[in-house]
């Protein structure tokens, strides 16, 4: 074959049906002992979080180092770290989509999922920072009959709005990208309950030309919205430091400094996830991918 001649995206002996059957066979496969072992280790590690949160609620946020002159302590370190991780996942996926890079499909799923879990972990720290998280609904401007509104000059309220906005857009971006896959799971499901659940979340997707047209427009709009949102959210996070009067923190360089650090931080986490995923990749999937000709 002429090296300059465009090659097909999929080998000739494959069509949509065979692709779905081959790929989804690994989705429906039952997890093995290795998966359950890793799940058990992760679950046991999560108990440390529950113990730590319980101890904090019992003793107060003073155990983090918060006191009268120190407004942020252990919580701000973790908050900024998790937010930084969450930024690169959506940023990588959105930028690769805007530039129409086909190899994006190999990393977009776990990078977007990484963003959602990282943002949820980041949201724990502003919530726990109040010391009484069961009153955190006061941070939202709901129509209160008492006339009490959030203090919009508080960096804590800025974080709530930044995190909730970024999580909402990232969740929509992740979900819209999953709609064709959810439809494929619906069509290959053997259980009626699974077909109903996947059918509900696939929003009636049938793969028609009109569906793909609207899908691409919506997906590109969310990608275009997510890219500048990454810059704005971590700029707001940096204001937790920059608007304080502490020496060394009250600096205008913090917004671009934090954004650059978040990108490096998130890229490192994506690579950390990619390397083990490539090492433990099963032979059947590797053999199947070798049959697919990527343009």
Which two structure tokens, joined as six digits, stand for 264? Answer: 């490096």
Q: Is the dihedral of CA 91, 270, 31, 120 positive or negative?
A: negative
Task: List per-residue pLDDT tens for the chain, 295 residues long.
Answer: 566 666 656 666 666 667 777 777 777 778 888 889 989 999 999 999 999 989 988 988 888 887 776 667 788 888 888 888 888 788 888 888 888 887 787 788 888 888 899 999 888 888 888 888 888 888 888 887 877 888 888 888 888 888 888 999 999 999 998 898 888 888 888 888 988 998 899 888 888 888 889 988 998 898 888 888 888 888 888 888 888 777 777 888 888 888 888 888 888 888 888 887 764 444 344 333 433 333 3
Backbone angles phi, psi at 50, to 5 degrees: -65, -40
Answer whether 158's CB lies under 8 Å from 239's CB.
yes
Query: Looking at the chain, how many residues does it have?
Result: 295
Q: Is the dihedral of CA 132, 49, 71, 147 positive or negative?
A: negative
């Amino acid at each position: 074959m002429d090296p300059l001649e465009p090659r097909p995206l999929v080998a000739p002996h494959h069509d949509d049906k065979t692709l779905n059957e081959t790929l989804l066979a690994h989705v429906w496969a039952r997890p093995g002992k290795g998966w359950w072992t890793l799940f058990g280790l992760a679950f046991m590690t999560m108990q440390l979080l529950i113990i730590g949160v319980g101890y904090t609620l019992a003793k107060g946020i003073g155990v983090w180092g918060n006191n009268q002159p120190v407004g942020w302590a252990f919580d701000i370190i973790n908050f900024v770290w998790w937010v930084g991780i969450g930024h690169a996942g959506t940023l990588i996926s959105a930028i690769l989509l805007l530039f129409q890079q086909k190899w994006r499909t190999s990393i977009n799923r776990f990078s977007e999922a990484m963003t959602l879990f990282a943002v949820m972990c980041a949201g724990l720290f502003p919530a726990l920072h109040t010391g009484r998280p069961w009153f955190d609904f006061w941070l939202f401007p709901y129509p209160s009959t008492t006339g009490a509104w959030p203090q919009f000059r508080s960096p804590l309220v800025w974080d709530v709005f930044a995190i909730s906005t970024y999580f909402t857009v990232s969740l929509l971006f992740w979900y819209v990208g999953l709609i064709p896959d959810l439809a494929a799971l619906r069509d290959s499901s053997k259980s009626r309950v699974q077909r109903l659940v996947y059918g509900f979340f696939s929003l009636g997707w049938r793969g028609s030309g009109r569906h793909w047209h609207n899908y691409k427009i919506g997906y590109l709009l969310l990608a275009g919205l997510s890219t500048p949102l990454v810059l704005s959210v971590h700029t707001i996070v940096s204001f937790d430091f920059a608007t304080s009067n502490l020496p060394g923190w009250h600096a205008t360089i913090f917004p671009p400094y934090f954004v650059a650090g978040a990108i490096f931080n998130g890229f490192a986490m994506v690579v950390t996830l990619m390397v083990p995923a490539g090492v433990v990749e099963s032979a059947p999937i590797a053999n199947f991918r070798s049959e697919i000709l990527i343009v």
